A and B are shown apart, each in its own frame.
Chain A
Amino acid sequence: MADLGRLSLVTCLLLLIYAVAGGSFAAWKRKRRLAQSAQNALIASFGVTIIAAVVLMSALARHDFSFQYVADHTSRELPLRYSLTAFWGGQEGSLLLWLLVLCGYAAAAVLTTRRVARDLLAWTVPVLAFVGTFFAFMLVFVSSPFATQRALADGAGLTPSLQNPYMAIHPPMLYLGYVGLTVPFAFAMGALLSRRTDERWIVATRRWTLAAWAFLGVGQLLGAHWAYVEIGWGGFYAWDPVENAALMPWLAATAYLHSVMIQEKRGMLRVWNMVLVTLAFCLSIFGTFLTRSGVVQSIHSFSQSPLGGWFLGFICILVAGSILLIVARLPLLRSKTRLESLVSREATFLYNNLLLVALALTILWGVVYPILSEAVTGQAATVSKPYYNFFLHTFGVPLLLLMGIGPLVAWRRASLRALGRTFLWPLGAAVVAGIALLAAGAGSSRIGVIAYTFSVFVLASIVLEFVRGTVARRALGGVGWAGAFSSLIARNRRRYGGYVVHASVVLLAIGVTGASAYETVRESRLKPGQSMSVAGDRLVFRGYQARTESNHRAIRALVDVYRGDKYLGRYRPGKNQYFAEDEVSNEVAIRHDPLTGGDLFMIADQVNTNGSIDLKVLQKPLVNLLWLAGLVFVGGSLIALWPDAREERRLAARYADAAVRI
């Protein structure tokens, strides 16, 4: 079976090389059949990658330890669901997933646009295939998941923290996001290479970009929840380089999604959009490099890693190639229109862009600095939470405010009188909220009060947008309130879907602020029968309970929680001892409070031999709004992604008028 896997990957590599070479030649010499043939090669590469993926999946399911990858990442006692998800639990499998998703995206992009954007696609195909060639090359020559050995009796098992249901969904979501950013990048480069810098590349990739961005966002939230319930340190985001790896491209893509609207509406920021789409893609490749090269652990593991140098070289080629191409095509990217006023919707989009990019780049510097300092001085400098928090507050809080200001400001320019009218209610709501928060004692955290006050301002401005829009739509006549509301959204899904996404960011901000600025932490050593108090709740330790599962031994502390005299339930924080992996994991217990949205988070820090426990308890107000934000984010993204027949007709008319097919 391993031979079939290897053969599939070699075939995939050959097909992709052909798509690069044949596709480039066809685009250069304007050869129609050769261009179609290159497109077919790209589609076929998806087929053969599926075969490779099926081979690996089947080896994982069968515990075929003659596959080195299977022996390194699974064991006989590992439940089947985790054996299957070990597909992306290691380096080789992750690279195969990258290639699989990329070839899938590429095939879908070709099939959906091949009849309508031929001239653009001619150069887009070689770019997509070039990225795919790199990953196929790595899988064939550098890091193969199909390396074989004499079958072992048992495997090394899977890292305990990866033995979690989130493993089934979080990495694939992230990869759908990371890899999806290749499509807008490839079309942008295709547009530059073919000198077709009209808006067709944006129109062709609008949904792909939005989908990739949404997947990346959802993937990160799932990762945060995974960290929260599984890693056992009491938080959801640790500014770990691997976490930052996903955040940076998402921020750049968020900036791009906003600025591309300015290009569509005003014909401005054409160079900036090319830069942003390149930045988002390069950061997604950089993220893969960070997680796969070992560079995060140390410069030594990077130099020993077979992948590091290749990835670095690939990133350099991408960055240099993109910059050269953008510079070479600058005359084609000049905008005819200029910003009319610094107080306008497009100006707020621009400020939002600058803040998003600044945040992404400061995070990038925080990730890169320890690596560079270790390379230069031999000593890795530490960039920790205070650095990131400082920049999150510096750039993130104004960003939050801008989300509320943007919708209230008119396009082109806004007069003071109009601003006064539109700002009145949101500003009033924010002031009332600020006073109420201070009166309620929230002033213990200045940043907390600011974030909550801004959040109220943003939510009020979003609600006001829906209300004013519905009233205006209804005033046109012919529809009731419900009809006016639904027609308002249906006529501009991207705008109103965007507002729903903004609302989800506000929920996220409220949750993050509550769980960090207003968190209570208590630690105590308890013997059976002893208790501790945390933020009004009393926790009584009753003793231990142990049980043995197929691949681990679980020990659980029995903790009864009371509020006053009311018994709230029994919770079981503890530890798992994994046999094959020879590792211990923290298994936390969480009491959700549906009324307040807060959590009581219990960690069995130390299970002592004398029967006592070192119990760490965190009370996290409003933290569940984070997960609610995820659902709202998905809803908003779906509204924005939903096909818009009116927009399709408008575009069809545009291209019919111009006598071209998009």
Chain B
Amino acid sequence: MTAALIVGVVLAVVSVLLVALPFLREPTASDDRLVSPDESQQRRLGLAEERDRALAALKELEFDHRTGKVSDDDYRELVGPLRRRAAETLRALDVRATAHG
């Protein structure tokens, strides 16, 4: 019983210490704001996701074409818009990077 209580008290103290750790480490934090992407970063993230999607779609199309799932005609028809979209997102990301830089 006593041993159990001692272990219990130690448990509670350790838990409290762990929970209080961020405040014990930095009792007076100069900046206590939670960092999160601002609006511009959010837009860049959206563009980066869009770029990755377009590039992945191009790769998929190439692969589907090589494995015979996409005919030559379909390939020619589909590849143009995908390349354009990839280029547009790349350009938009560059513009934003330059603006930030």
Does B32 contact A32, Cβ atoms closer than 8 Å? yes
- Find residues 42-57 in chain B having any chain A CB closer than 8 Å to their own CB: 42, 44-53, 56-57
Determine the residue in chain A with the shortest Cβ distance to B3.
A4
A118 within 8 A of B: yes
Q: Which residue of B11, B20, B48 is within 8 Å of A11 (Cβ)?
A: B11
Q: Give bound CA distance, A345 to B22, whole Å.
A: 49
A617 within 8 A of B: no
Does B67 contact A33, Cβ atoms closer than 8 Å? no
B15: shortest Cβ distance to chain A, in Å? 5
Does B19 contact A44, Cβ atoms closer than 8 Å? yes
A648 within 8 A of B: no
Q: Which of A213-221, A414-422, A437-445, A556-564 sits within the interface?
A: A414-422
Q: Which residues of B contact A27 (CB under 8 A)?
A: 34
- Find residues 66-100 in chain A having any chain B CB closer than 8 Å to their own CB: none
CB within 8 Å for A411 and B41 given contacts A35-B34, A657-B48: no
Q: Which residues of A contact B64 (CB under 8 A)?
A: 410-411
Q: Which residues of B contact A47 (CB under 8 A)?
A: 11, 14-15
- Find residues 386-417 in chain A having any chain B CB closer than 8 Å to their own CB: 408-415, 417
Q: Which residues of B contact A35 (CB under 8 A)?
A: 34
B18: shortest Cβ distance to chain A, in Å? 5
Q: Which residues of A contact B18 (CB under 8 A)?
A: 40-41, 43-44
- Find residues 30-62 in chain A having any chain B CB closer than 8 Å to their own CB: 30-37, 40-41, 43-44, 47-48, 51
How many pairs of residues, A versus B, come closer than 8 Å at their CB atoms?
Answer: 169
CB within 8 Å for A1 and B4 given contacts A32-B35, A650-B52, A657-B93: yes
Q: Which residue of B8, B29, B93 is within 8 Å of A33 (Cβ)?
A: B29
Does A7 contact B12, Cβ atoms closer than 8 Å? yes
Does A422 contact B68, Cβ atoms closer than 8 Å? yes
B69 within 8 A of A: yes
Interface residues on A, range: 35 or more
A660 within 8 A of B: yes
CB within 8 Å for A472 and B63 given contacts A1-B4, A32-B32: yes
Determine the residue in chain B with the shortest Cβ distance to A27.
B34
Mask of B1-37 contacts with A, CB within 8 angstroms, 1/0: 1001101100110110011111100100101111111
Does A654 contact B52, Cβ atoms closer than 8 Å? yes
Q: Which residues of B contact A118 (CB under 8 A)?
A: 34-36
Q: Which residues of A contact B97 (CB under 8 A)?
A: 657
A593 within 8 A of B: no
Does B34 contact A32, Cβ atoms closer than 8 Å? yes
Does A4 contact B8, Cβ atoms closer than 8 Å? yes
Q: Which residue of B7, B22, B61, B66 is within 8 Å of A411 (Cβ)?
A: B61
Q: Which residues of B contact A194 (CB under 8 A)?
A: 36
Q: Give bound CA distance, A36 to B74, whole Å.
A: 52
Q: Give bound CA distance, A11 to B29, whole Å.
A: 28
Q: Which residues of B contact A475 (CB under 8 A)?
A: 66
Does B60 contact A411, Cβ atoms closer than 8 Å? yes
Does B49 contact A199, Cβ atoms closer than 8 Å? yes
CB within 8 Å for A658 and B48 given contacts A8-B8, A267-B53: yes
Determine the residue in chain A with the shortest Cβ distance to B6.
A4
Does A37 contact B63, Cβ atoms closer than 8 Å? no
Q: Which residues of B contact A408 (CB under 8 A)?
A: 69
Q: Give bound CA distance, A19 to B100, whole Å.
A: 37
Q: Which residues of B contact A658 (CB under 8 A)?
A: 37, 41, 44-45, 47-48
CB within 8 Å for A410 and B45 given contacts A40-B18, A43-B18, A51-B11: no
Q: Which residues of B contact A11 (CB under 8 A)?
A: 8, 11-12, 15
CB within 8 Å for A655 and B11 given contacts A414-B74, A418-B69, A418-B70: no
CB within 8 Å for A660 and B41 given contacts A40-B18, A267-B50: yes
Does A8 contact B21, Cβ atoms closer than 8 Å? no
CB within 8 Å for A654 and B49 given contacts A7-B12, A417-B71: yes
B95 within 8 A of A: no
- Find residues 78-94 in chain B having any chain A CB closer than 8 Å to their own CB: 78, 93
Q: Which residues of A contact B100 (CB under 8 A)?
A: 659
Q: Which residues of A contact B56 (CB under 8 A)?
A: 265
B85: shortest Cβ distance to chain A, in Å? 10
Determine the residue in chain B with the shortest Cβ distance to A1.
B4
Q: Give bound CA distance, A465 to B70, whole Å.
A: 14
CB within 8 Å for A32 and B29 given contacts A51-B11, A418-B74, A468-B67: yes
Q: Give bound CA distance, A657 to B44, whole Å.
A: 8
CB within 8 Å for A48 and B11 given contacts A33-B29, A267-B50, A408-B69: yes
Listed residue (A3, A411, A465) with the most chain B CB atoms within 10 angstroms of its CB: A411
Q: Which residues of B contact A655 (CB under 8 A)?
A: 45, 48
Does A26 contact B19, Cβ atoms closer than 8 Å? no
Does B4 contact A422, Cβ atoms closer than 8 Å? no
- Find residues 430-452 in chain A having any chain B CB closer than 8 Å to their own CB: none
Q: Which residues of B contact A422 (CB under 8 A)?
A: 68-69
Q: Which residues of A contact B29 (CB under 8 A)?
A: 32-33
A71: shortest Cβ distance to chain B, in Å? 20
B74: shortest Cβ distance to chain A, in Å? 5
Mask of A180-208 contacts with B, CB within 8 angstroms, 1/0: 00000000000000101011100000000
Determine the residue in chain B with the shortest Cβ distance to A6.
B8
CB within 8 Å for A409 and B4 given contacts A33-B22, A198-B46, A660-B41: no
A499: shortest Cβ distance to chain B, in Å? 13
Q: Which residues of A contact B50 (CB under 8 A)?
A: 267
Q: Which residue of A48, A198, A418 is within 8 Å of B68 (Cβ)?
A: A418
CB within 8 Å for A37 and B15 given contacts A4-B8, A410-B70: no
Sample of 24 A–B contacts (CB below 8 Å): A4-B4, A4-B7, A4-B8, A7-B12, A8-B8, A11-B8, A32-B33, A41-B15, A47-B14, A196-B37, A265-B53, A265-B56, A408-B69, A409-B69, A410-B70, A411-B57, A411-B60, A412-B61, A418-B71, A468-B68, A475-B66, A654-B49, A658-B44, A660-B41
Sorted from nearest, which 5 A-B pairs have the closest CB atoms?
Answer: A119-B36, A658-B45, A4-B4, A7-B8, A36-B22
Given A47-B14, A119-B37, A650-B52: 6 more A-B contacts, CB < 8 Å: A3-B1, A33-B22, A36-B21, A411-B61, A654-B51, A660-B37
